[in-house]
Chain A
Amino acid sequence: MEALEKSIENINWQWNIIRSAHLALIVFTFLGLAATFPTNLMVIAAFGSGWGILFGAWALLKGDWLWSRAAILVGGVMLSVAVLIQIASKTILQALPGLLLAYVLILFSAEALALTRQHHAMYSKDEKGPQAYSVMLQKSIEHMTRRTIRLASVLGGCYVITLAVLLLGDMFVTALPALSDISLYIVAVSISLAFLLILRED
């Protein structure tokens, strides 16, 4: 019984570690978003980030989908504002890597919040079940860890590939000035991929 309690305690500790990692990710996301704002609008960025982090932390604590949505919504609104500001100031191409990073981080945060919500019901401090329950919790931790790592690698890969495409676009523009607009390639590649996917579904 003592070993079982120790095992569950250990699992709860791991669960808290994962949640802390997710919180760190949310903090990083909102800080990254704030960094995309011009310095004169930093107060708004800090205000938005504060709310976003607060909602995210609360969602992680309660495993609540409503607060998760609120955090994602704040992130989405902040990203939109940041993009619009960069479009208005004609500096979007320079800010694109930062904005893309913020976008990928928002996607990752949304996945992390959903993952925490999925598993939250199983973790309660006053619950002591038999060995079977400890096995369940262990599997849950395993799934969360595995999924977080895989999502990080896939989304990280996405970011790197996007940057590579942008870089290639720049190279093409330098080599062939006729193709001055890299968006042609981006649009063509993206739409082709999406269509390929839809055709595959059908």
Chain B
Amino acid sequence: MALTSKGLAYLILAYVFIGLALIFREPALTAFVIPNAILLFFSSRNPPNTAPKLRILRRMYPPRSFGGESIDVTVRVSNDSIESIEELHLRDRIPGLLKLESGSEAVTISMRPYEETQIWYRISAPKRGTYVLGPMSFRIKDMLGFHENSGEIATLDELSVLPKLERLGPIELRARRVGPWPGSIPSRKIGPGTEFFELRNYLPGDDLIRINWKASAKSGRLIANEFEGEQVTDVLVVVDCSEGTMSRLFDFDVTELEVSLAASLCAQLIHQGNRVGLSVYSAVRTWVDPGFGKRQLLRLVKSLAVVTPGIASVPLKYAVESVIVSVVPARSVIIFISPLMGNETIDLIEDLTAKGYGVICFTPVAGSKTEDMTNSMILARRILASERKIKLIDVSKKARVIEFSPEIDVRYALRRWRPWRRA
């Protein structure tokens, strides 16, 4: 095992004293060499463990965060060998984007055989994303630090900071195509549901509660109510986080709000029993096949957690049509979350509605702040806002458009919208 720089410094110091003794012809100076020589000898007799058996187990609380909260990380370190470690320096690698709030990710300790200890630190509320904690780097030194053995324990743990989920309440959709499973979407067919559909003769075995007494009195025979079946549908959430989201037309972080809205919509739609898929259009395209249940929701929010805005590599129309049309059955519902900045998006929505898909479009509200803007910038912004307004009018003829901003409560906007009134 080679000497560390400190060990080398002690060795050089010893030779400096010898050199000085020779220069000054003063043999007594060589006495200063003895402590150094003893220390170097002592160190070489007690070298650090060359193959330490260290085991680590990292735990995060909460294991999955929805942002806005600090994460506590506890790392259990065990020395699984019969040799004690005189000086062990441990450092857990934290991604640069994460900030330490308290505790310490680095510690210098000594460990006895089979001893177990823990490291604790708190990361201040990280931004949405997926972070990898680890590996844990270690440095083992002898007592004097003249010899060193370093390495890494490749235990990696993923920390997911998911987008914030808001409770949107029931979302009333009207799809032309429904699945066979019971849900909350009126199917225009007789089945178990809550909305009246038609009358028919009472049949033996029918629930008495279904008897329509008024109609029975008029016709002189027992008449029963039939209800409109409520079933599930396929919903695809398309999130457009391309360069449009970075436009200065908006006064707020459009990407964050789009992602949060998409996550909340996915959560509510899954909760209502629908089959939900996701397509994210940004610098990196993401696709999650439609599916049911809590695991699917986790897949969806995990995919949304890593969304970053950026210039898309392929045209939106190609990206959406090539995948959506082949995977999502026609006449399903497509929820489009987009700043609607380009003509391409409008064409795509028109194409999708033409193919029979029910399209709901969520779009951010253009801002009005003019601080730190020159006159030409304000003028450009007004022109852009006007062009976008025209596009919105065009889109609203084909699909339902709901505008959102941090000030607008989407729950309220959803309540105001009654899809069956259009039908």
Interface residues of A (CB under 8 A from B): 83, 87, 92-93, 96, 99-100, 103-104, 107, 111, 118-119, 121-122, 124, 127-130, 132-133, 135-136, 139-140, 142-143, 146-147, 150-151, 154-155, 157-159, 161-162, 165-166, 181-184, 186-187, 189-191, 193-194, 196-198, 200-201
Contacts and interface: CB of A to CB of B under 8 A. Distances in A.
A142 B21 CA distance: 41
Given A130-B120, A133-B103, A159-B35, A186 B30 contact: yes
Instruction: Name the 10 nearest CB pairs between A and B, nearest first.
Output: A183-B27, A132-B120, A190-B33, A193-B37, A158-B35, A162-B34, A186-B30, A133-B120, A139-B109, A122-B104
B222 interface: no
Contact of A190 (B18, B87, B109, B144): B18
A155 B26 contact: no
Contacts of A87: 24, 26, 29
A161 B120 contact: no
A87 to B, nearest CB: 5
Contacts of B37: 189-190, 193-194, 197
Nearest to B119: A136
Contact of A154 (B28, B106, B109, B144): B144
Interface in B22-63: 24, 26-42, 44
B86 to A, nearest CB: 8
Interface string B117-141: 1111010000000000000000000
B1 to A, nearest CB: 7
B3 interface: yes
Given A136-B103, A136-B117, A165-B31, A194 B110 contact: no
A187 B31 CA distance: 8
- For A93, A154, A159, A166, the residue with the greatest tally of chain B CB atoms inside 10 Å of its CB is A154
Contact of A139 (B1, B106, B107): B107
B138 to A, nearest CB: 15
B346 interface: no
- For A87, A92, A190, A196, the residue with the greatest tally of chain B CB atoms inside 10 Å of its CB is A190
A136 B2 CA distance: 30
A50 B87 CA distance: 33
A158 B120 CA distance: 38
A51 B89 CA distance: 32
A194 B15 CA distance: 9
A93 B42 CA distance: 27
Contacts of A159: 35
A16 to B, nearest CB: 18
- For B24, B31, B143, the residue with the greatest tally of chain A CB atoms inside 10 Å of its CB is B31
A136 B40 contact: no
21 contacts: A92-B26, A100-B32, A103-B32, A107-B35, A121-B104, A132-B103, A133-B102, A136-B118, A142-B109, A142-B110, A154-B144, A155-B39, A158-B38, A187-B33, A190-B30, A194-B14, A194-B33, A194-B36, A197-B11, A198-B11, A201-B2
Interface in B332-351: none
Interface string B138-159: 0000011000000000000000
Contact of B29 (A83, A104, A121, A184): A83
Nearest to A192: B37
Contacts of B405: none
Nearest to A121: B104
B102 A127 contact: yes
Given A118-B89, A143-B109, A197-B37, 14 more contacts: A92-B26, A104-B35, A124-B102, A130-B74, A130-B120, A133-B103, A135-B120, A140-B109, A150-B143, A162-B31, A184-B27, A186-B30, A194-B15, A201-B2
A119 B27 CA distance: 40
A143 B110 CA distance: 6
B386 interface: no
B38 A151 contact: no
A90 B412 CA distance: 96
Contacts of A93: 28
Nearest to A129: B103
A129 B41 contact: no
Contacts of B106: 121
Nearest to B110: A143
A100 B38 contact: no
